[in-house]
Structure 1
Amino acid sequence: MTDLATRAAPARPTSLRRAAPALLGYAAVRGLGLLVLAGWSAARGTSAHTLLTARWDALWYARVAGLGYGYEVRLPDGDVHSDLAFFPLLPWLERLLHALTPLSYADAGFTVALLSSLAAAWGIFAVSDHLYGRRVGLCAVLLWAVLPVGIVQSMAYSESLFTALAAWSLYCVLIGRWPAAGLLALAAGLTRPVGLAVVAAVWAAAIASFVRTGGAAAPGGVRAGPPAPSRAPARDPRGASVARRSLGMALAPLGAAGYVLWVGWHTGTGLFGYLDVQAGWRNGFDGGYAFARFVADKFTSFPSALAGVGLVVGVALVVRLYVAGVRQGQPLALLVYTGVVTALALCASSYFGSKPRLLLPAFPLLLPLAAALARLRPPRSALVVGVVAVASAVYGAFWLNGSGPP
């Protein structure tokens, strides 16, 4: 038996040629979503371009890119919405692309999202292929593409950028490239608050590696649960030393910690100033109490009770997929990452409609489904993906032309 976290594929999972079918499939699914959105929006007299680039959070990112931090909105109820809630990497990239091209800040954000979504799909394929083979990798990418809120992957939002950085950081952990994993975790920490999940994954895998080997050179992953059938034994090609692992651990938290400390210094509110900023948006972490009350309130009348049932089923499915990942033998890094992303998404105290979007980066939840889909015959699996892709495209168009991401 070999460790799932360290098995090598017959061909490098990172090679573009090996990943090409997954990337082409991903582009086709997302292209379908954009076409349906364009048609739906035209029929309603709305602008698909505006929905993708200049609504909701995209407006805040573009404003930071163009004017820097310092803008806030004071609401009648006393809440203060500050742009300091938005981490800086996406605005930095928007500003850079705007400076280098004729693109507006909004269009630059859209471009970054499109390129990042392809990088994320490639990273998801690399992780899945490394662990379970090329076919599972292809299925994992397609499942990520057809998620009901997958249209967000093509918006001027930070989800795609964060998922790309997280996926490649996890891949570097799995193959023992600790400094690269730490640098990518640093960048993820500059992208979204949930960058904490990537930092936790790097640290957990590194500490487990230290404990397992007593500090000797060792690969980066620790398998959890029973192993899947191995394809080829392998050792860490880099022979990660104590210094490399320590460097990866040291780099990983610098992005998130640096921004949070800067916010505290900038606002004069001290170490926990960023929490005050989030409180102004009525957002925080309460262990899921507010979300539980929100779900319970749905059962006070018959029509809304159906939504309550849907929410309960959705949360149960997420938990079930996480447990399936443990049984599947996912490495410790993936389990820690997914657990933190899921906990932060489900236990946030506000913006309940955002929870599906906040779960987008938790791609390891899809690996058990990808393995099941990969076992089907190709025509049947293609039919399943095709039907779900159409449904996802229609839902995405309906969603953005309705309530949309809060």
Structure 2
Amino acid sequence: MDGTGSTPPNTPRTAGRGDDPDEYAAAPAMDTPLATRVRRAAPPVLVYLAVRLVGVLVLAVMAATHDTSLLDRLTSWDGQWYLGIAEHGYAGHGESSLDADGEPYSTAPYAFFPLYPAAMSIVATFGIPLDVAGLVVSTVAGLAAVPAVMRLARHVDPRRRAGLLLVALWAGAPMAGVLSMVYTEAAFLALAAWSLVGVLERRWLLAGACALSAGLTRSSAAVLIAVVVVAALHAAWARRGGWPAAAGAVLAPLGLLGWWLTVYLATGRTWQAIQLDGWGVSWDWGADTVDWITGAFGIESHPYDLVGAIVIVGAAALVVVLAAQRVPWPLTAYAAGIVTLAVGSGGLAITTPRLLLVAAPVLMLPIAVGLANRRRGTGLAVTGMAVAAGCWFSAYALTVWPYAI
């Protein structure tokens, strides 16, 4: 992968990645025959589907034991907002919205980005019920993310086993249940992963277009956009990217900035103000998250609090590992930015484990590479236990935990 040909085939290629700022751009070509690409994509896609099926089955069992339906859980919390927006539009759904204090709040729907509900509406035009359409969009998006996750893994470790383990770990990560829900995580993850592939492989129009679309999906795109713009401008300045690099840098922020401008023109308020009044979410430098973590470790707490706190601390530790192993800087920067954004935002600290999911395929790279270095049985056993724990936690958060995720 690094072009030297000196690394043994079974040695993870992480060391030395930071020596040449453009070394990370060496990558497999995307002009492989379609049939070959489909054949290669089948195993990781099947791994993803198998893990997500296990997760949904666990949720179905736990939902039944708590006198609720699987579909109700798969469309709960934010899912109801997206369903309402897809059916009635922003103004129509806003008429019945309430703020954090239970007061009428007609602009609340504008806190949710438009690409996902728009995709749901398009799928529903084929005669599919809207809630099922949302599940279809999330499932297809998750499948679309799988080849990109495999490509990202190959930039760190060329062995196929590492990529397959990464797909399994990501699909079964804590809170990965939202990948099968009417939530934006799967759609955003697909766009972010392909955008990062574009950065690593110098496909600047791909990187910029996916970052633009991610900016129409959720606010976490701010981190992705920063990575794409910096990498593209560096390539253009170094005369290695030409006009596509400049175009990618221009394209990347248009989705997020365009939606923020649309919100202001439609409501007279900023998107950030709507978030603050509706959900109490604002930047507090991590004070709320730290309070939640210390409370979870320091007192008798709900299992969700304890596991969630461990997930947050683990994510921060994995960012340090990524930096120490000199993983390509766009991946490390993206993971660090997502963790910083999730931890630094106060108001709903209990949702932080879910917010970290969009960085899971990058954060879990060191774990996947480490397991790939172990005996096959050991790697499979540890991955299986991690998947089982993640599927349980996701189902627990949707059936036993009484608060929003």
Shorter-chain TM-score above 0.5: yes
SS in 2 for 1:128: helix
Q: Cα distance 1:309–1:210, how it changes in 2: closer, same or farther (>3 A)?
A: same
Match of 2:86 in 1: 65
2:25 paired with 1:6 = yes
- Structure 1 counterpart SS, 2:283: coil
Q: What TM-score, normalized by structure 1, do the two folds share? A: 0.85
The Cα shift of 1:398 comes to 2.5
Deviations, residues 267-308 of structure 1 (Å, cap 9, x unaligned): 123xxx1111011120111111222233345577x4139987
Amino acid at match of 1:63: G
Residue 332 of structure 1, CA deviation: 2.1
Distance, in Å, in 2 between the alignment partners of 1:40 and 1:188 is: 32
Give the whole-Å Cα distance in 2 for the aligned partners of 1:119 and 1:372. 25
Note the C-alpha offset of 1:206: 1.8
Could you tell me how far apart the structure 1 residues matched to 2:207 and 2:26 are? Answer: 18
Counterpart of 2:141 in structure 1 is 116
Given candidates 43, 65, 86, the residue that maps to 1:21 is 43
Residue 47 (1) aligns with residue 69 (2): yes
Q: Distance in 2 between matches of 1:379 and 1:306?
A: 30
The 3 A distance-change label for structure 1 pair 34 and 287 is: same
Offset at 1:105? 1.8
Is the deviation greater in 14-23 or in 72-81? 72-81
**Partner in structure 2 of residue 322 of structure 1:** 319
Q: Judging changes above 3 Å, is the alpha-carbon distance between structure 1 residues 140 and 298 closer, same or farther for their aligned structure 2 residues?
A: closer
Q: What is the CA–CA distance in structure 2 between the aligned matches of 1:255 and 1:197, rounded to whole Å?
A: 13
Change in 2 beyond 3 A, CA 1:29/1:333:
same
Match runs of 1:199-348 below 5 Å: 199-210=225-236, 213=238, 216-217=239-240, 240-241=241-242, 243-269=243-269, 273-280=270-277, 281-298=279-296, 302-304=299-301, 313-348=310-345
Deviation at 1:147, TM superposition (A): 0.8
Aligned to 2:386: 388
Residue pair 1:7, 1:131 contacting (<8 A) in 2 also = no
**CA pair 324-297 structure 1, distance change in 2 beyond 3 A:** closer
Letter of the structure 2 residue corresponding to residue 104 of structure 1: P
Aligned residues: 374
- Partner of residue 348 from structure 2, selected from 343, 347, 351: 351
How large is the RMSD of aligned CA atoms in angstroms? 2.4
Tell me how far apart the structure 2 counterparts of residues 11 and 194 of structure 1 sit (CA, whole Å). Answer: 27
Counterparts of 1:276 and 1:11, CA distance in 2: 42
Q: Determine the structure 1 residue equivalent to 2:376.
A: 378
Residue type of the alignment partner of 1:265 = L
Deviation at 1:350, TM superposition (A): 1.5
Aligned to 1:181: 207
Counterpart of 2:77 (choices 56, 63, 67) is 56
Kindly indicate whether the alpha-carbon contact (under 8 Å) linking 1:110 and 1:154 is maintained by their aligned counterparts in 2: yes
Is the Cα–Cα contact under 8 Å of residues 117 and 153 in structure 1 kept in the other structure?
A: yes
Structure 1 residues 356-365 or 134-143, which shifts more?
Answer: 134-143
Q: Give unpaired runs (5+ residues) of structure 2.
A: 4-19
1:311–1:143 Cα change, 3 Å:
closer
- Cα 1:37–1:175 change in 2 (3 A) is same
Deviation string, structure 1 residues 376-398 (Cα, Å, up to 9, x no partner): 12222112222222233333322
The residue aligned with 1:143 is: 169
Instruction: Tell me how far apart the structure 2 counterparts of residues 130 and 305 of structure 1 sit (CA, whole Å).
Output: 39
1:127 to 2:152 alignment: yes
- TM-superposed CA distance for 1:201, in Å, is 1.1
Q: CA deviation at 1:12?
A: 7.3
Gaps of at least 5 residues in structure 1 are 218-239
More deviation, 259-268/335-344 = 335-344
User: TM-score w.r.t. structure 2 length?
Assistant: 0.86
**What is the rounded CA distance, in whole Å, between the counterparts of 1:8 and 1:74 in structure 2?**
48
The answer on whether the counterparts of 2:305 and 2:350 sit within 8 Å (CA) in structure 1 is: no
How far off its partner does 1:312 sit?
5.6
Q: Which amino acid is the alignment partner of residue 156 of structure 1?
A: V
CA distance in 2 between counterparts of 1:312 and 1:155 reads 23
Deviations 1:69-99 (A, max 9, x none): 1202145465847011000000100111111
Query: How much has 1:310 moved relative to structure 2?
Result: 5.7
Q: What is the rounded CA distance, in whole Å, between the counterparts of 1:74 and 1:10 in structure 2?
A: 49
Aligned partner of 2:8 in structure 1 is: none
Kept in 1: contact 2:27–2:200 (CA 8 A): no
Pairwise CA distance, 1:118 = 1.2
Q: Quote the residue 1:224 is aligned against.
A: none
